[in-house]
Structure 1
Amino acid sequence: MARLPRPRLTDSVLLSTPVVVLLAAYALPAAVKRTLAYHPAEPTVLGLLANAVVHFTPTHLVASLVGYAVLAPLCWYLCVHRARRPGVFRAVHVGVCLLVPPAAALAELPLAWNALTYGFSPVVTAYVGFLPLAATLAITVRCDRVRLDHAPVYFLGGLALAAAAVGRNDPTALPVAGVAALLAAPYALSLARALPRDFLAHAVDVPPVAALGVFAVAPLVAYPADPVVGDGAVVNLYSHFVGYALGFLVPYVAIRIARADTPVVEATATDVTSEASNDVSNADTDVTTAETA
């Protein structure tokens, strides 16, 4: 049985740092954590920057850690070992962890909610948004007919699933699900035409396809039918959507601009030896030809 690759030291530090920070922040006194939380009606710089590390209950903390532990390593594997784009993952990871939480908090300013906003959910949902993009980059390596242009089908499909999930409790979200599904249809048809006929027959164990299965379930978890949880807290569906949208749209646009969807093929010792042997062989042929002449 093949062993899963281990991350390099750089990636290990990047992946483990959020876990360490969340655990350390959870150990802080409740009064301190309240100062780190974000209040849209009375915003502070500290709350804007630190609200993502705040968790008041073990259930909330475990949910954040489990979501992160599933999604972040999976995106890492797809980008680094399948798509051969380590730089893409590292840039997205830093951006998701440092920039998405304050961006989601700023997006709540016009709402001026009289409630505390906190938790790692915007980062987790940002990884939900990035997951199909990472899977698409990985699939393009194995199937050159699939392009990054097909990735919006997953974003729009996930949006339709999320809106349908919210619609179980709030029917006003159902039109959003319908519009997102209609917008996803042309991308879905294009993707269906691009895939070879035998793709699914040989893709059962392909990690990118499994990742898309995880992605299909994630909206149902991130957008529960009843957003009210214990102790009167309410799941912030708005920040979940902001994180999801930023996690997909920002990397997608950046990759399109940078044209970074081409895999990086690192030269190995075997490649160098093979090239050197070819050069020697070509040189011998030239010499033989010259002697014959």
Structure 2
Amino acid sequence: MSTTSFHHAVYGLPPAELTDSPDGAVQVSPLIPGSPRIEDVESASLERVDVLAPAGTIERRYVLAQALRALRPGGRLTALAPKDRGGSRLAKELAGFGAPASESARRHHRICLVERPETVANLDAALEEGGPRHIDNLALCTQAGIFSYDRLDPGSALLLSLLPPLSGSGADFGCGLGILARSVLHSPKVTALTLIDIDRRAVEMATRNVGDPRATIRWADIRAGNLGLSRLDFVVMNPPFHDGGSEDQALGQGFIARAAEALRPGGTLWLTANMHLPYEKPLNAAFKTVEVKAASGGYKVFEARK
């Protein structure tokens, strides 16, 4: 879709009872595969933007700055978030951009309405801080909002310490920045690796970080299925277990089911997870053998064979 062919945009999935987004509003969230990039929307071209603001400060300020950049003067911004997930800061942050808001509270959310002034301030600093960048401690390209964007998370670190050299064709479900994939591709016996993530930003950063002709990187929702993967030799993953800030164990269970569908008989799943997550039952239901390879520091690693 051309970024100049619409006038109303929505970022994320604001609760329908808290906003009145028009039916023609175009989704621009990086977490909804297929959506156009808000970064590509022409400046001062939109009549209206509705934003469910992210919880992370750097990411939230970046999204608010992008929305204000894309709005025409006089255009309307509705920004909302749960009070305890950044909502209490929205009005102050918008004022810092020179865009004072009228604020209301409803259903544990703070809702800010802004009529975009002729001039706004401090957008460039927020856009630079929240945009793609190289981070030295990971030696990778990253962006605020991606899972564990500024550090190696302990679950992945534990899996990396145990992962043997793999071979054949495989997949990295929920690839993030590509940290697991880079390790997998160190093995010359790996012939192909498909990286999949629901976050467009992760896909873009993994594309930069994983410079290997054996890698294919896709923007898709693994839970939805229809991945076109079959008879894989292996799958590696550190599945998410939060959706919109709330724990959702069904996410990891869905990843396990998709992995079982994609693997050949005898194929192997390597999975890392927080200790409290009850993945043993779905693993045992979908795989012939399941072994806990490590349990340390609040995390566990499974090797499951189809």
Which one has the bigger helix percentage? 1
Which one has the bigger strand percentage? 2
The TM-score bracket by the shorter chain reads under 0.3
Q: Which has the higher contact order (CA 8 A, sep 6+)?
A: 1
With the length of structure 2 as denominator, give the TM-score of the two structures: 0.24
